[in-house]
Structure 1
Amino acid sequence: MSSSYEQYQKRRLISSYISVVLSIALVLFLLGLLGLFVLNAKKVADHFKEKVTVTIFLKDTAKDVEVKQLEKSLAMADYVKSTTYVSKDQALESMKAESGEDVLDFLGFNPLKNSIDVNLKADFVTSEKLESISEEALSKNFVDEISYDKDLVAQMNDNVKKISFWILLISALFTLIAVLLINSSIRLAVYSKRFIIKTMQMVGATKHFIRRPFVWQSVKLGIIGAILALIGMAIVLYFVDRTFPELAFIKQPGLIIALFVFVFLLGIFITWISTFIATQRFLNLNTDKLYY
């Protein structure tokens, strides 16, 4: 009978430990993913900003030397990421490939113009900077017009500001939820041993002596949970990098290692402080209140 009861208690204890480890792992995993998103949010935003193309259309009277000089000055500018010269014939071929129609068939001539496609560095993709670049280019007498999506640029910058605010807010909220969930799991595990704690205290054991094995056990569970969370984060990071190689998530090892270390230490710290507070509560609790 006693052996059966001991086995039941042992299974219950193991189940409690598994529950704590899974809670810690899940919370730290989600928190780590949020951390990855926060660290790479600017890179993702910059990636899309640098896809915005400013097209400088050239007059047919533009001389080759003038065009090459403009290309060279743009390429050397600190705000330009890349430039591409597109001849009117290349533009016509692209239009034909997209629409499936050849304007030469019904116009008899190529109405398109030679152009230079300019992609700016992300920090310079603002309405003010684009307006300034446009004015500078239009001051040249061989430039016909400048084309870019003004509404898209304005909306993109506005959305980046909004998203940054909500990311910070969600990060703070999620961190609080993570602490509360892990703390709740640890408290339940300690609660199941409240009578052992009080018995040890009644026979003269010091609070530090009673608390130490509980804290150490919880820290070990925290380490296991953190390791599982880090494995999950590494798998997600691997597949994200394979799916979106242009974002180069994995090419910033310093930030990734720092985040992994932070998640690992956070798992240890939360379990340590949660166990300390939980055991302290039962150590200070009156014997007659242990049943409530």
Structure 2
Amino acid sequence: MAESKKVSSVSFFNSRLTSIISIALVLFLLGLIFLMGLLGNKLSVYVKENISFSIVLKDNQKEAEIKKMQKTLDALPYIKSTEYISKEQAAKELEEELGENPETFLGFNPLQASIEVKLYSEYANPDSLKLIEKKIKNYTSVSDLLYRKDMMQMVNDNVKRVSLILLTLAVILMAISFVLISNTIRLLIYSKRFLIHTMKLVGATPSFIRRPFVRYNVVSGIFASILAIFMLTGALYYLQNELSGFIQLLDIKALVIVYAGVLVMGILLSITATVFAVNKYLRMGVDKLYYI
């Protein structure tokens, strides 16, 4: 008798452990998709906010006027930062690129002073830039405004494309996750199908029958979520060692959101799958229970 109980408890432990590991692997994949989405968003913001355009200034502008204009630009809600580049500094930078000072063979400095402007990511798109260009060109000291329209358009198109791919992957993986978790939980409940039928016969309500199964699988879902979070942390640690500075793209708030999302998904998917699985056996007649 004692031996039978021991075998039963070992079998119960093994089935629960298998269930937890199976759910954890699915949640780990979901967590990776969440992380990729956040990383993609952070990366797109970083790229957009580092694409600058140049406000070319007219010659013989007084430094006080330039500083005043720069201060006005810094106060605008769509401008992240500005940097003044004098004619001399522009010539020095060109010399570093070409290896020769343009003044040496031209006899004068052909370059103009400019202000390099970086926008906040939400304004770094061709439509917003058209409006910003009109406003900036109203300044009397502005000669021209230079920026790579094709690059700006390419970055925005790629961001939209990647976002759509990640969203599609997330939806597909969510569906696969539900099916896998549902099958795992259904296998656990399958062995209790006659117990469910017996409880029905003695007058137990569906909610009363479902309650212990839901509680059991919620606990399993929580343990699986914790395991998945440890796996995600290990994956992030590995990526940080392989790609220096990778972790800087993610802040604590983003990680908390991902980890909380994994925990919530583990609980919600476990509850939903349990309810569906128990309802299946609640609706099933006793004759069918022998043939499934």
Q: Same fold (TM over 0.5)?
A: yes
| SS at structure 1 position matched to 2:177 | helix
| SS at structure 2 position matched to 1:226 | helix
1:249: which partner in 2?
A: 251
Q: Deviations over 1:126-178 (max 9, x none)?
A: 32332333344444454332211111112223333444444444333322222
1:23: which partner in 2?
A: 22
Structure 1 residues 114 and 131, CA gap change in structure 2 (3 angstroms):
same
Indicate yes or no: 2:62 matched with 1:63: yes
1:126: which partner in 2?
A: 125
2:93: which partner in 1?
A: 94
In 1, the alpha carbon distance for the partners of 2:248 and 2:211 equals 49
> Which has the higher mean CA deviation after the structures are superposed, 123-132 or 210-219?
210-219
In 2, the alpha carbon distance for the partners of 1:72 and 1:2 equals 83
Does the CA contact (< 8 Å) of 2:19 and 2:184 recur in 1? yes
In 2, the alpha carbon distance for the partners of 1:285 and 1:257 equals 46
Does the CA contact (< 8 Å) of 1:57 and 1:114 recur in 2? yes
Structure 1 residues 133 and 285, CA gap change in structure 2 (3 angstroms):
same
Does the CA contact (< 8 Å) of 2:87 and 2:113 recur in 1? yes
Once the two structures are TM-superposed, the CA of residue 111 in structure 1 deviates from its matched residue by 3.1
In 1, the alpha carbon distance for the partners of 2:233 and 2:164 equals 27
For these two proteins, the number of residue pairs brought into alignment is: 287
In 1, the alpha carbon distance for the partners of 2:200 and 2:181 equals 29
2:111: which partner in 1?
A: 112
In 2, the alpha carbon distance for the partners of 1:211 and 1:118 equals 61
Give the unaligned 5+ runs of structure 2.
none
Indicate yes or no: 2:151 matched with 1:156: no
Structure 1 residues 203 and 132, CA gap change in structure 2 (3 angstroms):
closer
Once the two structures are TM-superposed, the CA of residue 182 in structure 1 deviates from its matched residue by 0.6
Structure 1 residues 262 and 135, CA gap change in structure 2 (3 angstroms):
closer
**In angstroms, what is the RMSD of aligned CA positions?**
3.6
Does the CA contact (< 8 Å) of 1:237 and 1:249 recur in 2? no
> Which has the higher mean CA deviation after the structures are superposed, 115-124 or 58-67?
58-67
Equivalent AA in structure 2 for residue 243 of structure 1: G
TM-score, structure 2 as length reference: 0.78
Percent of aligned positions that are identical: 35
Once the two structures are TM-superposed, the CA of residue 55 in structure 1 deviates from its matched residue by 0.6
Equivalent AA in structure 1 for residue 263 of structure 2: F
Does the CA contact (< 8 Å) of 1:61 and 1:142 recur in 2? no
TM-score, structure 1 as length reference: 0.78
Give the unaligned 5+ runs of structure 1.
none
